[in-house]
Structure 1
Amino acid sequence: MIPDFTALRAIGWPFSAAPTAGEWADIMAAHPDARPARVVEQHRSGYVVAEHPEQGFSVESLPEWQRPRLTPEKRPAVGDWLLIRGEPEHKPKAVALLPRRSTIKRAAAGEHYGQQLIAANIDTAFIVCGLDLDFNPRRIERYLLMVQGGAQPVVVLTKADVSGGANGDRANEARATLAELDAQDVPVCTVNALDHDSVATLHAWLGPGMTAVLVGSSGAGKSTLTNTLVGSERMKTGAVRENDARGRHTTTHRALISLASGGCLIDTPGMRELKPTGEEDLAESGFTDIEALARQCRFRNCQHDQEPGCALRNAIAAGTLDARRVGNYLKLDSEIAGAAERLAVRQAQTTGEKVRRSNTAKRTPKKTPKRGAPKRR
């Protein structure tokens, strides 16, 4: 079957036709009887892929993707491109995973180190935060830390219609709080997720061949925003609690949806825990100004606590730097360092296991004579 690249383009295919050079072209050439399809849903039982908008069918996974010891980040995720073989009605087989252009991931919950891939091959990450009690600048900074895999972060402040005439003041206050992001090329958009004209400001990141992912806490308005962008009630929505504006998980799994604009949107369940993987760089996470200022401290190993000549503490005292933002910066820096140590231990353990398996395979088992066979003299 010859791929329909026009249809593939409508679900985010990054080329106008088949790639002619690079890793993608090499892998496709190695499987001439296979064709590309995109992962649009990921479930415990397997994957749903598509070759056209509004189409989805199950595929048979590669055996290695089912191995219990395979780390989650090495398995396909929503947004990944696979090469498949076979007709949709007969459950095709996946034969290869094409290289990722970008990823969004976090450390998995639990005591042992692990990573959870949220989405792959993303052009834009919409960090959604409500202008009600959901608004939390420190949480936005954590999301910015997570969006470092090559995607453009865009902060989307929803619920601009909240509190009647007071919403304008609340939006202005929120934008003022996030003013440092403007200098770091992180757009901040204020929208009413129920209004088509209001969300039209996001269309600039949803053109043909482009893919955006929505991330944010439950109740932030991600599903409502998705329904408005799609133009139909595709995603289930629910009310939020009055005391803290938090919502229930109305989205239960990640799913890729095609838009009339030619772009794609991935809606995700709300995330309560955002742990760094240890691979992040704070300088690329909305803290460029703090990183630059920290280099002006008197001591190279300044802990920004009680040391004399600390540029960060001086800026806080002068009122030019928010103490809460600096506190979050230091907390995230410590978490990244801790995660990096756990990652190094995990990598060393993995390397050790590979070496042991290799040595075991090289050993030649001692042959024993068959029962009844004469012994050699």
Structure 2
Amino acid sequence: MASHTVFSKGFFRDQGLDYQTRTVLGRAVHGGSDVGEVLATIDRISDHDSWRSAWTATASRVRAEADDLRQQGDPHGAKWAYLRAANYWACVLESVSELEDEDDLRRVFREHRDCWNSFVDCSGGAHVRVDVPYGDTDLPGFLLRPDATGTPRPTLVITNGSDGTVSGLWGDAAAGAVARGWNAFAYDGPGQQEMLFERGTAFRPDWEAVLTPVVDALVGRADVDPDRLTGYGISQGGYWLVRALAFEHRLRAAVVDPGVVDVSTSWTQPLGHSMRRLLERGERAAFDRDLKFATMLPSLRRTLAFRSRPYRSESDWFDLYKEIEEYRLTDDLAARVTTPVLVTDPEGEQFWPGQSARLAELLGDRAHLVRFTAEEGANLHCQPLGRALTDGRMFAWLNSTLSAARG
């Protein structure tokens, strides 16, 4: 392979490792990684085991440098080193999540979250922790502001996907908001990150039960303009956010990156026709038997172990797949959405192909569909190497939509 074709041919033959590499490289545009650090790290990687060891070494080294900078009285330099370290630990976390060692998983998560918390602490008061009351507990939240003045600002409420980390949300949307004089609010919902690894909560399909408490916590703050609240949902958050918008109408505009109508298709499509038929016909024993044989493949076993952890079902594979079928946006729910929604539509979307266009069709004139292409360097799920382009397009639309709403 010629070195100059790596964008189209891939950094690794393994599609998972290749996509993760593109994602962490894309963080560089907002200071969430350093290109040289990423390339030097992947130069030492040949498989999943060496991925874990190489990223552990890089994350540990960058964390130590961040600590040194902080002790030397350079919180600004330390802040950015902590952010990079958090994202490098996130690379380890995703890999460790495929294994069965819960103690190691929590250890890596705590390394990652400690680096993120240090990033927040080194912001000079611009970024603050804002926990959200939720039932008999609270959701960890972070209000990321341009400064510590407390000026009321437009605020982008960010809903994560199924397995993304909060540090990743800085590059996905928060940095673009803060650079434009906005606030960004990032949080862990049930089944996400701290709520999963430390508290053992599970996903829920009815995300309005999550988003409404988040909005409630923000609208009463002096540093949030309640008339300029907007939303952003990335990956599976593209389903959760639109589902919530069917009931929560206080957001003036929203972006989903990409559009997701039926979460379950990313689970059922790889099964093949015969296993999908078993699932449709309710043949539990045959489905569980066939999937048990299928998971003898290490790649599938890793993927399912990683992706099934946040769901409620603990009985068998059949119940898990049936539970995931609940994560679907129906025509009736879509009809209840009144918020204008920008829907990204990246070329080569590998998890929910065609669903961005389907969501735009369901929403009708409330949707604004925006294509991203390989020619622009912005293809694949959430266009990992096109984040500056994504920022430009989505914030131009958000500003325009807010202006129109205010007359």
Bigger-Rg structure (1/2)? 1
Q: Same fold (TM over 0.5)?
A: no
Richer in helix (by share) = 2
TM-score by length of 2: 0.21
Taking structure 1 as the reference length, what is the TM-score of the superposition? Answer: 0.23
